[in-house]
Amino acid sequence: MAIITSNTQMDGGRLMRAVMALSGGMDSTALLVRLISQGYKVSCLSYDYGQKHKIEIERAKMNIRYLAEKGYSIDHKIADLSSAMSIFSSALTSDGIDVPEGHYEEEQMKSTVVPNRNAIFSSILYGYALSISEEEDVDVVIALGVHSGDHAIYPDCRPEFYESIGESFALGNWGSERVSFHLPYIDGDKETILRDSLINCQKMNLDFDTVFANTNTSYNPDENGLSSGRSGADVERILAFHAIGRKDPVGYVESWEVVLQNALNEQLRYYVMKQNGTERPFTGKYDKHFENGDYHCSECDTLLFTSDSKFDSGCGWPAFSQEHENAKITQVEDRSHGMIRIEVRCSKCDSHLGHLFHEARGPRYCINSVCLDFKGD
């Protein structure tokens, strides 16, 4: 199959032209490969905005060099916005704010939002696209790797944001009829992005593992550039590689087996505690656990139960006859699944814990293990 290079005219003699933000992360890298495979001449911008994970820019450079070795010459520029954006507050840029760990869609992940970041980035890209359109007399797409997994936490990754900002940019510029946003992954997720890239790497005779080893998704890599495997972005990436049946080629501070298990645990914890899900019976680590000590909420560390009230109910989940006197667990009527039950939730963080059943032998708090953190005497 013929590969369209940066010098090839196509689409009825018209050059297919794109500008894009290349962060050095997984999504934008996959997008770059996709655009090249589709025959676009691509100009990339990477942004130094004072991010703690600045290694992503070095990873972007590594893939630009790798693509050049494979015969794909890409125009790549780096825009230094670090001084201007140093006044913004975010866990990604501010030394006094730690990068949170956990699931990507949890509330605390909002601290990783950099105020107005994508509006700033898109504004620069739009000006770049207008300039290229004028100089080369071509239509230009602004390609971005935003996807559905970003929508919950990052408002500036949602389709309505780009619809609105595109209209505003068009109102404020001449020649805007020749520039448009291109968001091919907007309805997908990291798994669909990886599957797309597997196909495109094969088309282009690129080594998939080399391409993605030359990326960084972690918000808190160590001094050697190894990903923590614990940030929300890490967890999402690890689960995506697991979903396509491949080991992530990027380096982690712990083994792949360890970071994968952590990611799977985070996925389960989020499903149970934030989406009111339930562990499969007889799978939780505290079902047959009877050491002396206290059981705390794994989300907020509130003391919920003590070992004195724990008993073996045979139901497949940890069972307690009573809550700790200071727990003040919230009880909510639950009419899901055609039943009427009493749901129990942590009174401090409002996380789902399980259900309360009133039986002949007395109360039974049926609690998911993933919601508990045991502390021995």
- pLDDT of res. 9: 36
Residues contacting residue 173 through CB under 8 Å, at least 6 positions apart = 126, 130
Alpha-carbon span 166 to 187, nearest angstrom: 18
Please give the Cα distance from 216 to 92 (Å, whole number): 14
High-pLDDT (> 90) share of the chain, %? 77
pLDDT on residue 104:
54
The pLDDT of residue 4 is: 27
Q: Provide the whole-model pTM.
A: 0.85
Give me the mean pLDDT over the 170-191 stretch.
94
**Residue appearing with tokens 């559905």:** 148
Q: Which helix (H) or strand (E) holds 209?
A: helix 208-213
Query: 345 by DSSP, 3-state: which?
Result: strand
**71-98 residue pLDDT tens:** 999 999 999 999 988 888 888 888 888 7
Per-residue pLDDT at 220 exceeds 90: no
The percent of residues above 70 in pLDDT, for the chain, comes to 94
Q: What mean pLDDT is predicted for residues 102-127?
A: 82
- Nearest 5°: CA angle at 89, between 163 and 54? 85
pLDDT tier at 3, thresholds 50, 70, 90? very low
Predicted local distance difference test score (pLDDT) of residue 112: 81
User: Residue 63: pLDDT above 50?
Assistant: yes
User: For position 116, what pLDDT does the model report?
Assistant: 85
Q: Give 248-277 pLDDT, tens digit per residue.
A: 999 999 999 999 999 999 999 999 999 999
**Closest by CA position to 346, among listed 318, 319, 365, 321:** 365
Give the model's pLDDT for residue 13.
Answer: 46
Domain with CATH 3.40.50.620 in the chain: 17-217
How remote is the C-alpha of 73 from its chain's centroid? Answer: 29
Q: Span 293-376: which CATH code?
A: 2.170.150.20
Quote the Cα angle for 287-305-339, to 5°. Answer: 65
DSSP letters, 149-203, are: GGTTT-GGGSHHHHHHHHHHHHHT-TTGGGEEEE-TTTT--HHHHHHHHHHHHHH
Distance CA(34)–CA(140), nearest Å, equals 16
What angle (nearest 5°) sits at the alpha carbon of residue 339, between those of residues 334 and 340? 45
Q: What is the pLDDT of residue 62?
A: 97
Has domain 17-217 been given CATH number 3.40.50.620? yes
Range from 147-156, 210-219, 269-278, 347-356 carrying the lowest mean pLDDT: 147-156
**Strand ranges across the sheet with 362-367:** 310-311, 319-320, 362-367, 352-359, 341-345, 330-334
How sure is the predictor about 235, in pLDDT bands with cuts at 50, 70 and 90? very high
- pLDDT reading at 363 higher than 70: yes
Asked if 17 and 132 count as a contact pair (C-beta separation under 8 A), the reply is yes
Cα–Cα distance between 74 and 17 in angstroms, integer?
A: 12
Question: Can you list the positions of beta strands (E) in the chain?
Answer: 17-21, 41-48, 75-80, 140-143, 179-182, 293-297, 303-306, 310-311, 319-320, 330-334, 341-345, 352-359, 362-367, 372-376
- 131-171 pLDDT, tens digit each: 999 999 999 999 999 988 776 778 888 889 999 999 999 99
Distance of CA 299 to the CA centre of its chain: 20
Q: What is the pLDDT of residue 247?
A: 97
pLDDT, residue 7, reads 36
Check pLDDT > 90 for residue 304. Answer: yes
First to last CA, the chain: 67
Which pLDDT score is estimated for 2?
22
Note the pLDDT of residue 58.
95
Measured between alpha carbons, how far is 84 from 50 in angstroms, rounded to an integer? 9
Q: What is the pLDDT of residue 151?
A: 64
Residue intervals of the chain classified under CATH 2.170.150.20 are 293-376
Grade residue 105 by pLDDT with cuts at 50, 70 and 90. Answer: low
Across the chain, what does the average pLDDT equal?
A: 91
